[in-house]
Amino acid sequence: MQKRILGKNGLEVSALGMGCMGLNFGYGPATEKGQGIKLIREAYEQGITFFDTAEAYGQLNEELVGEALKPFRKEVVIATKFGFKDGNSSLGLDSSPERIRKVVDNSLQRLQTDYIDLFYQHRVDPNVPMEDVAGTVKDLIAEGKVKFFGLSEAGVASIRKANAVQPVSALQSEYSIWWREPELEILPTLEELGIGFVPFSPLGKGFLTGAINENTQFDSTDFRNIVPRFSEENRKANQKLVELLSDIAKQKEATPAQIALGWLLAQKPWIVPIPGTTKSHRLTENIGGASVNLTPSDIVAIDEAFAKTNVQGDRYPSHLQKRVGK
């Protein structure tokens, strides 16, 4: 797989990464540990060198990632995140310097490593000056515990404040064919500052794969149950987007998911999507998206087609939306 560079400090990763959250957090029952390890190693064997986890996904998630990648630790890039009280997103935000230092030590232990490649602030904490957050990570980089600094779901003002103290290598936020808001302010700012972009949910939390429709029943623990965009009514209304993607995919002899990933990769050379999956065949399908060759005219055609459709439903419930774009 081709490599891409995130940020000005030379963080090199595979063109596609792997989001590991869904292995045991957010999307229903946890994947059995042995199967999760097997899947992560399959990803590495097929060219993925960039793996994403977080304290807030539960300590089992970091432990799983750490154990899976231990045999080839020096060949991969591990990203994890800090920013919630006691590592629990339901308890609110905490990016105090003391908490950041505690998180890094705990994460190093769970990941079975002596350094974290990319350390993200998971959400901007309005109670802690961004200069203090960036300064703490800068110190951790000087100590060798962290290599690169990242932000997640941060707004332009926070990105600028952080980058002025410690160069930000990557911003992680939602971006896909059906969530285009980053194009307004975020992408121009990242380009100006030389910061990479790591889109999560590049397949619309699974919707753009075509595997979900209005009749899909989510597990009671699945996060999508509270996402307005995933109400039964909105899933039915948004199905035309998947049909559109499917038509384009047939023309390119690809799948809808591969077109969605190829579209993202074609936007900027410093964009690295991190699709997640619990299934081996989906992993292979996603990786195939890195080889989809979309021409500039293909991109225009896709954009024009999607511009004629309106996505129904917000991407977050209101209480979670308040945490983003700060």
Write down all domains in the chain, each with its CATH number in brackets. Answer: 3-206+269-291 (3.20.20.100)
Q: What does the pLDDT read at residue 57?
A: 94
Q: Whole-prediction pTM value?
A: 0.95
Catalytic positions: 57
Question: Interhelix angle for 59-69 vs 33-45, to 10°?
Answer: 50
Q: If we measure between CA atoms, which residue out of 52, 46, 47, 39 comes closest to residue 2?
A: 47
Per DSSP, helices labelled H in 194-231 are none
Q: What does the pLDDT read at residue 67?
A: 98
Q: What does the pLDDT read at residue 148?
A: 98
133-143 pLDDT tens trace = 999 999 999 99
How open is the CA angle 124-128-134, to the nearest 5 degrees? 70
Below-50 pLDDT ranges, the chain: none
Q: If we measure between CA atoms, which residue out of 39, 97, 84, 36 comes closest to residue 61?
A: 36
Q: In what helix (H) or strand (E) does residue 261 lie, and over which residues does it extend?
A: helix 256-267
Q: What does the pLDDT read at residue 293?
A: 86
Q: What does the pLDDT read at residue 49?
A: 98
Q: What does the pLDDT read at residue 215?
A: 87
In whole angstroms, give the CA distance from residue 170 to residue 154.
Answer: 11
